[in-house]
Amino acid sequence: MADKSLLDALIESLRCLPGIGPKSAQRMAFHILQRDRAGGAKLAAILGEAVQSIGHCRTCRTLTEDEECSLCRNPDRDDKLLCVVENPSDVVALEQATGFRGRYFVLGGRLSPLDGVGPAELGIDQLRNRLDTLQPDEVILAMTTTVEGEATAHYIGELAAERGIATSRIAHGVPLGGELEYVDGGTLAHAFAGRRRVNAD
């Protein structure tokens, strides 16, 4: 019974991961125990160390094991461009997919009063200090197109406007190679509203 209880606890623990339901968690637990105990032990050790050692960058709030992340320590980054994102994973995505060489600020979420997420939870005071210290020429808002994301972008846009800083939003719309009939209505409407003029020459 004790073994079964421990197995159940392992399966339940694996369910804390996003997108992992009961069946997936069960398959993962059995795979580790039947086929890859060494891998499971390594995962447990690294996971324990990561949880203890990885925190937030004091400057941009992304995840790092140092007091300040490597991006903030890099003197070659452009202080005149500040990209505000919702999550640390957004920083990784932008670094991998774009040639952006500016600075970042990670909110850690988006404004959602119903869920108890206000400006304080998003480090808005820290963002104000970042704007005043960097004095960027442009703030790039890389928010989702949810209602909360739009409200967050508007709020931060106001902070930038108070300081005379220009703001821009990353484009949202039809994905590259996407066919209109398969794109959801909200995405299509946003893309249509944000259309740009194509010059005839």
Phi and psi at residue 37, to the nearest 5°: -65, -35
| Residues 105, 19 share a domain | no
Each residue's pLDDT, cut to its tens digit, for the chain (201 residues) gives 445 689 999 999 999 999 999 999 999 999 999 999 999 999 999 999 999 999 999 999 999 999 999 999 999 999 999 999 999 999 999 999 888 999 999 999 999 988 889 999 999 999 999 999 999 999 999 988 888 988 999 999 999 999 999 999 987 777 777 776 777 777 777 777 776 666 545
Specify whether 130 is located in the same domain as 47. no
> CA distances (Å), 201 to each of 23, 153, 162, 195, 196, in order?
57, 35, 39, 18, 15
Q: How many domains does the chain have?
A: 2
Residues 78 and 160 in one domain: yes
CATH of the domain at 18: 1.10.8.420
What one-character-per-residue DSSP string does the chain give?
A: -HHHHHHHHHHHHHTTSTT--HHHHHHHHHHHHHH-HHHHHHHHHHHHHHHHH-EE-TTT--EESSSS-HHHH-TTSEEEEEEEESSHHHHHHHHHH----EEEEE-SS--BGGGTB-TTTTTHHHHHHHHHHH--SEEEEE--SSHHHHHHHHHHHHHHHHTT-EEEE---SSPTT--GGGS-HHHHHHHHHT-------
Q: Which residues pair with 167 in a beta bridge?
A: 139
Q: What is the pTM of this model?
A: 0.83
Domain of 165: which CATH number? 3.40.1360.10
Does 37 share its domain with 82? no
47 with 142, same domain: the answer is: no
pLDDT at residue 172, as a whole number: 78
Q: CB–CB of 172/187 below 8 Å?
A: yes
The tokens for 100 are 């952006």
Alpha-carbon Rg for the chain in angstroms: 21
36 lies in which domain range? 2-53
Q: What is the pLDDT of residue 1?
A: 43
Query: Do residues 87 and 143 both lie within one domain?
Result: yes
CB 173 within 8 A of CB 116: no
Amino acid at 14: L
The answer to whether position 185 is within a domain reads no
